[in-house]
């Protein structure tokens, strides 16, 4: 998987900060950067990026104006950047993946990239999903003096536990020394989705989804477990579930 990225911000230092963070993450390639809305609009049409980091407030054409002026088929996945928090409604109306307040910390940046990675395989015709061979097939877990291989196919959900994560598989739990973000990047997004900053779920384990009034949702899994899905993860999750439920033509 290689997600092509454009950065749009009228502040050079802000663009540099996003670029530096992006350079440390695998699977994302910067293809362009722009300092104003007009050039960003032309650049997005020409470069056809998969993802744009878009500053909301810029002189002249704002970031929201740029996204709104693009036809839905031309609009890349968007992560909005702003120093203010009054644009959430417009962000949801434009189906933005995430909404990051400046200054952005590393954990929130990683969460935004997780969402982009999860949404990417479902973005229209011609967008290739990550090959199954690129995803990890099993996890190595130390238990005493032994190393146990836990097949990914048996993992039902994963929950964060500080710098560790707990794998739930076939009625057993296994503690691995990996942060949830790291594990999310290793899994096939067609099979697993991060549904909250503290949990990842295998899609075929979801038996029922109940929407809440605050746009979060409760997920009931086939083993009877109930998890909360955060509203910021819901658009990508809903698209993934819809895609899985489509009958092959």
Residue 213 lies in a domain: yes
Plot region of 171 (φ>0 → left; ψ -120 to 50 → alpha; else → beta): left
Residue 143 lies in a domain: yes
pLDDT score recorded for residue 85: 65
Q: Are residues 230 and 146 in the same domain?
A: yes
Query: Residue 15's domain spans which residues?
Result: 3-122
Q: 């307040």: which residue's tokens?
A: 101
Cis peptide leading into residue 103 (ω within 30°): yes
CATH of the domain at 196: 2.40.50.1020
CA dihedral angle for residue 213, residue 194, residue 112, residue 141, rounded to 10 degrees = 150
Residue 127 lies in a domain: no
From 122, 143, 160, the end of a domain falls on 122
Sign of CA dihedral 201, 97, 128, 184: negative
Q: Are residues 114 and 172 in the same domain?
A: no
Q: Are residues 25 and 97 in the same domain?
A: yes
Q: How far is CA 150 from CA 56, 62, 182, 190, in A?
A: 44, 48, 17, 19
pLDDT score recorded for residue 93: 62
pLDDT score recorded for residue 129: 43
Residue 31 lies in a domain: yes
Q: Are residues 28 and 83 in the same domain?
A: yes
pLDDT score recorded for residue 234: 83
Residue 30 lies in a domain: yes
The radius of gyration computed from the CA coordinates of the chain, to the nearest angstrom, equals 19
pLDDT 10s per residue in the chain (249 long)? 799 999 999 999 999 999 999 999 889 999 999 999 999 999 999 999 999 999 999 988 999 999 999 998 899 999 999 887 666 556 666 668 888 888 888 888 988 898 888 888 876 544 444 444 456 788 888 888 888 899 999 999 999 998 899 999 988 999 998 888 888 888 888 889 999 989 999 999 999 999 898 888 999 999 999 999 988 788 778 878 877 766 454
Q: Do residues 116 and 97 lie in contact, with contact meaning Cβ atoms separated by under 8 Å?
A: yes
Residue 129 lies in a domain: no
pLDDT score recorded for residue 222: 93
Residue 128 lies in a domain: no
pLDDT score recorded for residue 76: 94
Residue 157 lies in a domain: yes
Q: What's the whole-model pTM score? A: 0.64
CATH of the domain at 9: 3.40.50.2300
pLDDT score recorded for residue 220: 94
Q: Are residues 79 and 163 in the same domain?
A: no
């Amino acid at each position: 998987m290689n997600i092509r990225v454009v950065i749009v911000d009228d502040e050079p230092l802000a663009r540099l900060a996003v670029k530096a963070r992006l350079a440390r993450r695998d699977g994302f390639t910067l293809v362009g950067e722009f300092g104003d809305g007009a050039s960003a609009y032309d650049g997005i049409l020409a470069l056809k990026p998969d993802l744009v980091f878009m500053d909301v407030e810029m002189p002249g054409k704002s970031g929201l104006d740029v996204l709104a002026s693009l036809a839905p088929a031309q609009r890349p996945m968007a992560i909005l950047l702003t120093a203010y928090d009054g644009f959430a409604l417009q962000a949801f109306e434009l189906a933005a993946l995430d909404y990051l307040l400046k200054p952005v910390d590393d954990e929130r940046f990683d969460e935004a990239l997780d969402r982009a990675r999860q949404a990417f395989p479902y973005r229209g015709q011609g967008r290739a999903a990550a090959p199954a061979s690129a995803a990890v097939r099993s996890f190595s877990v130390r238990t005493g003096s032994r190393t146990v291989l836990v097949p990914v196919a048996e993992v039902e959900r994963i929950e964060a536990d500080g710098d560790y994560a707990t794998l739930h598989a076939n009625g057993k739990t296994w503690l691995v020394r990996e942060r949830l973000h790291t594990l999310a990047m290793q899994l096939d997004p067609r099979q697993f989705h991060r549904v909250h900053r503290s949990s990842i779920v295998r899609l075929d384990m979801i038996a029922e989804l109940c929407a809440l009034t605050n746009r979060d949702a409760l997920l009931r899994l086939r083993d009877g477990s109930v998890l909360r899905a955060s509203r910021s993860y819901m658009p990508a999750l809903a698209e993934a579930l819809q895609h899985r439920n489509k009958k092959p033509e």
